[in-house]
Amino acid sequence: MPTLLTTLWRNPRWQLASIGLVGCALVVCGVVLATTLNLAACPLCILQRMLYLLLGIEALLLLLATRGHRLVALLMAVTAATGAGIAGYQTWLQRFAQGFSCGGGQPWWEQLVAWAGKQVPLLFEASGLCSEAGWVFLGLSIAEWSLLFFSAMTLLALRALSISR
């Protein structure tokens, strides 16, 4: 008798849905951590939060659609890989780039984060510094945990893409 995990592992649609669910759960965890531990999210943290939410929206589209699963799987893989790149950059800033910040001037994504922070401050307000690790769990910063999650999500989305019919 197949277990729930076996069924999920064999079904690309449910693999992708689980990516979206985990992404949304990570956003909730981030908000709870920020609120309870009084942590200040930086612009790169907020950008990653937006990508986790985008993964949730893409997963919802997948569940509502009757066709186009391969396209959604590809979009989710690209979204997760983008998140891994951003989390990797933030990890580099925290570990190796002493004295650096998110970037020079105010790039388009910082403007997006500032605008979103005004619209929904609970989710998107950025007041921290990207180069500060802040809270650490099991020796890894939040950015490093995010890098691990985004990397796993990328691999799972690519696997789902490869076994989609």
2-29 pLDDT, tens digit per residue, is: 676 676 667 777 788 888 888 989 989 8
Q: Which residues contact 32 (CB under 8 A, 6 or more apart)?
A: none
Domains and CATH numbers, the chain: 4-163 (1.20.1550.10)
The torsion angles phi and psi of 35, rounded to 5 degrees, stand at -75, -50
103 band by pLDDT with thresholds 50, 70 and 90: low
What does the alpha-carbon distance between residue 17 and residue 65 come to, in Å, rounded to a whole number? 12
For residue 10, the model assigns a pLDDT of 72
Task: Quote the tokens at residue 15.
Answer: 């693999």
86-101 confidence digits (pLDDT tens): 999 888 887 777 665 5
Task: Quote the tokens at residue 105.
Answer: 């001037």
Q: What is the DSSP string of 88-140?
A: HHHHHHHHT-TT--S-SS--HHHHHHHHHHHH-HHHH---S-TT---SEETTE
| Contact indicator for 44, 84 with CB cutoff of 8 Å | no
For residue 84, the model assigns a pLDDT of 95
Q: Assess whether pLDDT exceeds 70 at residue 55.
A: yes
Between 43 and 82, the more confident residue is 82
pTM of the model: 0.81
Q: Which residues contact 70 (CB under 8 A, 6 or more apart)?
A: 161, 164
The torsion angles phi and psi of 89, rounded to 5 degrees, stand at -65, -45
For residue 12, the model assigns a pLDDT of 74
